[in-house]
Amino acid sequence: MTANIIDGKAFAATVREKVAGHVARLKEENGITPGLAVVLVGEDPASQVYVRSKGKQTVETGMNSYEYKMDADTSEADLLAVVEKLNNDPEVHGILVQLPLPGHLNEDLIINSIDPAKDVDGFHISNVGLLGTGQKSMVPCTPLGCLMMLRDYHGSLSGMNAVVIGRSNIVGKPMAQLLLGDSCTVTIAHSRTKDLPEVVRGADIVVAAVGRPEMVPGDWIREGATVIDVGINRIEWDGKNKLVGDVDFESASKVAGAITPVPGGVGPMTIACLLANTVTACCRANGLAEPEGLTA
């Protein structure tokens, strides 16, 4: 069997198109332009690349992009003041504080100071609670992207066995909540899970979010299963840098029914979902109907 490739790059382009269409309607019919503010503290090179890319895509979809670059030694009080200013700014519908923050800043404190209605990363404790209790929330972008691709490929996920490998607050736990919300039977595996290969073999859907290059080989995958590879790992191969996932694509794609590649799978969906969340937040803030197919 050769797996169908779930093309995240192409799917993300369709999400961005939907976002742009909705933004155009908001401008024309309501005179509102959604705005996303991104706060970057320090000079982490990877974070700088992400922030640049987020700003560019925000503008390309017709939204306003606001960037706040702060020094690495910014005090907690100064950062909290910027968040407070953005919370109170009616032109700003989404706020994202780029993680990781420098070590002297308390990430939980900062994230929980964002107005939950503008928390487009979905990391605020209120949004985590709302998602966990099946209520309307802002949903973390990476798992939202995975869910969109799974729904698009399968239609209904009801009754499927899903195994999520990884229990981080950013990916694993919200992913499991979303799959549960779509009536999957969900197992969350982690570094202490006993007999992980056997657990994974029981899955109709495998979501790997571990951060270990090519850890999941094809012989862990049930024939015909759908594999979503969240991992982004940089390895050296043939003297060059190469990006690989948490799944061994070569062997897994011979048994899986469908699989996301790395790169070009989950990665492009994350920013697309950030834009989607910003439009959703803008509609909610203005009491307008939410765009269909852009939320969980």
Residues making contact with ligand NAP (CB under 6 A): 142, 165-168, 170-172, 189-193, 196, 209-212, 230-233, 266-267, 270
Task: Pick the closer one to ligand NAP by CB: 201 or 212.
Answer: 212
DSSP, collapsed to helix, strand or coil, labels residue 40 as: strand
CB of 262 to ligand NAP, least distance (A): 8
Of residues 100 and 134, the one with the C-beta less far from ligand NAP? 100
Q: 3-class DSSP state for residue 259?
A: strand
Q: Which helix (H) or strand (E) holds 148?
A: helix 141-154
CB of 212 to ligand NAP, least distance (A): 6
Between 187 and 251, whose beta carbon lies closer to ligand NAP? Answer: 187
Catalytic option among 18, 57, 121, 177 = 121
CA distances from 73 to 11, 103, 218 (A): 39, 10, 46
Catalytic residue among 18, 54, 118, 173: 54
Rounded to the nearest 10 degrees, the angle between the axes of helix 8-30 and helix 45-60 is: 50
Q: Are 258 and 227 in contact (CB under 8 A)?
A: yes
Task: Tell me the β-bridge partners of 235.
Answer: 242
- Provide the minimum distance between the beta carbon of 205 and ligand NAP in the complex, in angstroms, as a whole number: 16
Pick the catalytic residue from 18, 57, 98, 246: 98
Q: Tell the smallest beta-carbon distance from residue 286 to ligand NAP (Å).
A: 29
Asked if 121 is an active-site residue, the reply is yes
Taking the least distance from each CB to ligand NAP, the nearer of 62 and 267 is 267
What residues have CB less than 8 Å from 266, skipping those under 6 apart?
Answer: 8, 142, 145, 146, 149, 228, 229, 230, 260
CB of 121 to ligand NAP, least distance (A): 11
Place of tokens 């012989």: 219
CB atoms within 10 A of CB 125: 12
Closest residue to ligand NAP: CB criterion? 168
Is residue 238 flagged as an active site residue?
Answer: no
Closer to ligand NAP by Cβ: residue 148 or 210: 210
Tell me, yes or no, if 57 is annotated catalytic: no
Show Cβ contacts of residue 284 under 8 Å, excluding neighbours closer than 6 positions. Answer: 117, 290
Which sequence positions are flagged as catalytic? 54, 98, 121
